[in-house]
Amino acid sequence: MAYEVLLVEDSPTQAHQIRETLEGVGLLVRVVGDGPDAVREAMTHPPHLIVLDVNLPSMDGYQVCRRLKRNPSTRDIPVIMLTEHASPKETMTGLQAGADDYIPKDIFAGEHLLDTLRELGLIE
């Protein structure tokens, strides 16, 4: 059984790169580009994992994460925030919103993401 990932990323270029990384390790990836769509998709078709950007149109990633973690049907889905917002304050905001991990988009992001997926048992 392949694990399903909901990727929430409004940049088509970054969505494509992240999707390739995830599909390269055997995960099935669905992509949405904004917060309300992410919440709706997670509730109607719960994935095994959500990879969430912070900068999104209409509802930021922190709001999406808080909403998902408050809902009984989505609260147990791991959320990894993958974002350009890398300050300690922003990291704390993400973790306080309920994110299981907070990964800055830097040269180590892909490796860090794969390490987290291994820790969650989604890949070997």
Please, what is the average pLDDT of the chain?
A: 95
Q: How confident is the model at residue 61 (pLDDT cuts 50, 70, 90)?
A: very high
CA distances from 116 to 12, 20, 37, 60 (A): 23, 17, 24, 22
**pLDDT tens digits for range 82-124:** 999 889 999 999 999 999 999 999 999 999 999 999 999 999 8
Superfamily of domain 4-118: Response regulator (3.40.50.2300)
Q: How confident is the model at residue 81 (pLDDT cuts 50, 70, 90)?
A: very high
Q: If we measure between CA atoms, which residue out of 88, 83, 69, 72 comes closest to residue 112?
A: 83
